[in-house]
Chain A
Amino acid sequence: MRCFKIRERLVTDYRDGELGKREIAQIEEHLRGCEACRELFEEVTRFATLPRPARGIEMEPDSRVWENIDRKISRKRGEARGIRGLLDFITMFFKPHLALKTAVAFSLVVMIGVMIYFPIRTSTPIDLEVSEYLSEQMEMMSILGSGDFERLNSDDDFPIFEADFFDWA
């Protein structure tokens, strides 16, 4: 193995025990005969080895960390509850509860019953004559408003002046 390859291994796999026995033997043989590579490995050990903290990696966080977490989680839970409430309200219309279904069915039955018992009254001949009279009166009023008196005197336009509408009264 050449120096270039060895030097790469020295700062990574060899240093970290990631190599098999055969490769370790090759590197160690090289180190015995190469001062530059030996020097590099000494530097790795001297300068690139992290000191291990006395208490390991664990460190106790401040109590406010939990307080903030608790607050954030509660807020998120509240938001989720709000969204869920809205969704429930919407789905209620698509998947109604039994009580709502019963109420709607009961109302329909009552309405049908009422319609059968009190049928809608159709217009009588007298109703029709009254309605015709009222529309003619309205038309006359609009002509009076426009000032077109010639049209008012025309018998063709206003058969109402023939007073035959009094027949029904």
Chain B
Amino acid sequence: MREIERELIEKAGKGDTRAFRELYDQTSGYVYGLAYRVTGRKHDAEEVAQDVYVRIHRSLAVFRFQSAFKTWLYRVVLNTALNHLKKKRRIAGHEVEDTEGFNAVASPEAVRSVEISESELKLKRMLERLNPDQRACLVLRELEGMDYQAISETLGINLNTVRSRLKRAREALIAMGKKEVANDAMFQNT
């Protein structure tokens, strides 16, 4: 996502509806995409995107440009997505079961809307195995190419937490990869 013009942000902050719509058009692909990577579900990503823009609309008037709008947006999206998942988990009283996510990747609706390629499917499967905090860190590092400092600022956590979340995420992915290789080998032998 490219940087958004200051003038547009200021106009939207003053209640200009057209400017707000323009801001939405310029950022929604990114907001929705990031929310989708973290939540792993289309429906959740839509809810997160809606909450993000309602929050942005409320806060734009007091946005002070002390940080780049893009960085602020990252933070709002990720915090909203993580809170959304935590809330869902609290309501369910247990880890969210895979009702729409991983299995639904192959459903016709999901295929149409997300245009899942083989690598997209693999990415989704890998992210599904991680907890939301680890997922957010890994997405920012691997897909957004952020360094540890930027991840720490975006998520509001310290550098060592970034490090430990990435470490655990990668260890989990390695374990999953090794298990899959072993399963494939067993399947070929039988």
Contacts and interface: CB of A to CB of B under 8 A. Distances in A.
Interface stretch (A57-65, A112-120, A160-168): A57-65
A11 B141 CA distance: 13
A95 interface: no
Interface in A48-82: 48-62, 64-66, 68-69, 72-73, 76
A28 interface: no
Q: Is the interface of B mostly helix, strand, loop or mixed?
A: helix
B37 A16 contact: no
Interface in B110-159: 113-115, 117, 119-120, 122-123, 126-127, 138-139, 141-144, 147-148
B49 A65 contact: yes
Contacts of A73: 20, 53-54, 57
B119 A51 contact: yes
B54 A61 contact: no
B30 interface: yes
Contact of B166 (A11, A54, A65, A68): A11
Contacts of A47: 173-174, 176-178
Interface in B37-56: 37, 45-46, 49-50, 53-54
B135 to A, nearest CB: 10
A43 to B, nearest CB: 5
A69 B55 CA distance: 10
Interface residues of B, number: 50
B166 A12 contact: yes
A48 B143 contact: no
B30 A57 contact: yes
Given A47-B174, A47-B176, A72 B50 contact: yes
A44 interface: yes
Q: Is the interface of A mostly helix, strand, loop or mixed?
A: loop
Interface residues of A, number: 34
A62 B46 CA distance: 8
Contacts of A68: 46, 50
Interface string A33-48: 0000000000110111
A58 B141 contact: no
A97 to B, nearest CB: 26
Interface string B24-36: 1000111111101
B163 interface: yes
Interface of A: 8, 11-13, 15-16, 18, 43-44, 46-62, 64-66, 68-69, 72-73, 76
6 tightest Cβ-Cβ pairs between the two chains A and B: A47-B177, A58-B29, A48-B170, A51-B119, A61-B32, A59-B33
Given A11-B171, A44-B170, A69-B24, 18 more contacts: A47-B173, A48-B170, A48-B171, A51-B119, A51-B120, A52-B143, A54-B117, A57-B144, A58-B29, A60-B29, A62-B46, A62-B113, A66-B24, A68-B50, A69-B57, A72-B54, A73-B54, A76-B54
